[in-house]
Amino acid sequence: MPKSPYPTLAGQARALRDGQHSATALAEEALARAADPAGEGARVFIKRYPERARAQAQAADTLRQAGLARSAIDGLPISIKDLFDVAGDVTLAGSVALRDAAPASRTASVIQRLEAAGAVIVGRTNMTEFAYSGLGINPHYGTPRNPWDRAAGRIPGGSSSGAAVSVTDGMASAAIGSDTGGSVRIPAALCGLAGFKPTARRVPMDGVLPLSASLDSIGPLAPTVRCCATLDAIMAGEDERAIPEPVALRGLRLAVPTTLALDGMDETVATAFQDAVRRLADAGVAITEIAVPEFAELAAINAKGGFSAAEAYAWHRALIARAQAAYDPRVVSRILRGKDMSAADYLDVLAARAAWTQAVNARTAGFDAMLMPTVPVVAPLIDALSAADEAYYGANGLILRNPTLINFLDGCALSVPCHASATAPVGLMIAARAGEDRRVLAIGMAVEAALQMD
């Protein structure tokens, strides 16, 4: 595929440094795109921050003029998913059930870190209600349309739906989302962006409305892997010098799991994935197909709802008791599965996860990372999935399938665009064990560069 069509963080930072642009101008452009009635802004943002963004941009310009740029994202417009607390705002999480809730008294730590680095926060992005679906459909605030085949109206992927479209449509330079079962990687894959899911404990979750405390993680959606690495370092509280450089591809050992992960690919995804694997092999990567039978066991482990249903129900049960009618029925029905899980059921999942993770890690121990399609199909039509429960739940299960494997593994993973020009976006997932975040980002940079060579 060609290089990203979207401006990179590094390129925009250079333009600010060289005086070609100002943070104020970038903010005004992003805000104008978000407010354009002919665009997707009304569906992308649940709340915009024009005054806050202008003040932050002016501060960035003033500091830069004094030679005091704070970071590689100082003065760049960033969007945040609607589940991060911002002091003084009610955190709605894409729902209407929380409209009468008290406003947050403190801004989430991850947002504080971004603002301290000079991020210009342009607004809170739309999402699947309470982050509980991989499709991005929201009946309360509308569904942002995928930038590909927009006239037909295709899903953006979820749950970080508005996050992806805010970047593709120039309303933000990058976006911050959450990933419990693929909610960063899925919209990144379906919209043609890079998306990174870090090891869950890498970025602090305080001030973030939870879906599943055992699986939630915070990650960026951005034009390139290096953009993701820059944001990840800031959110993880690391020095920017911790951002890795690309690895050498020759001699890299990558595993392609043949169990489950390659099932159900449509023709576009299969062609893009096979071409990406071929390109990497031509670049000297040692690619081995391996069976991972544990992948086929995960559905049975989570048959009663798994961590997501149990932990979501524990958080939502009081709200459901008083406001169930305000929920998206397709969301609340999944949360209510947790009501029927016993403490013993939950402990069974905990024990199964530990054994399953140990087995998968042992099976993949000889490899630097795994490769698989992020999503096995291109973005379906919004109307088709909205019209029928069978279509909605079938697509949701298929689209979440591969990313969910890595959340249950407590691993880290990237989605990197791998489609050909002028075709539907397709994501290539690069995944590894817990704690190997910088290694995965370094591999991702090298893979991205190889796939962009014509």
Q: Which residues are known catalytic residues? A: 81, 159, 183
Residue 204: exposed, middle, or buried by beta-carbon count in 10 A (0-12, 13-18, 19+)? middle
Please, what sign has the CA dihedral across residues 191, 250, 7, 432?
A: positive
Question: How far, in Å, CA of 209 to CA of 197, rounded?
Answer: 17
- Please report, to the nearest 10 degrees, the dihedral formed by the alpha carbons of residues 283, 289, 292, 293 taken in order: 160
Taking alpha carbons only, the member of 233, 331, 230, 200 closest to residue 10 is: 230
Contact predicate 13/55, CB 8 Å: no
Closest Cα partner for 178 from 102, 80, 101, 53? 80
User: In terms of DSSP bridges, do strands 286-290 and 412-417 run parallel, antiparallel, or are they unpaired?
Assistant: unpaired
DSSP class of residue 376 equals S
In contact, 255 and 220? CB cutoff 8 Å = no
DSSP output for 162-208: HHHHHHHTTS-SEEEEE-SSSTTHHHHHHHT-EEEE--GGGS--TTB
Tokens of 329: 């029925």
The residue type found at 425 is P
Q: Give CA–CA dist 167/1, Å, rounded.
A: 19
Give the orientation angle of helix 225-235 with respect to helix 437-451, to 10 degrees: 160
- Rounded CA-CA distance 364/358 in Å is 10
State the CB neighbour count (10 A cutoff) for residue 83.
27
Token pair, residue 237, equals 């509280």
Which residues, 6+ apart, have CB-to-CB distance to 389 below 8 Å? 330
* Whether the Cβ atoms of residue 404 and residue 291 lie closer than 8 Å to each other: no
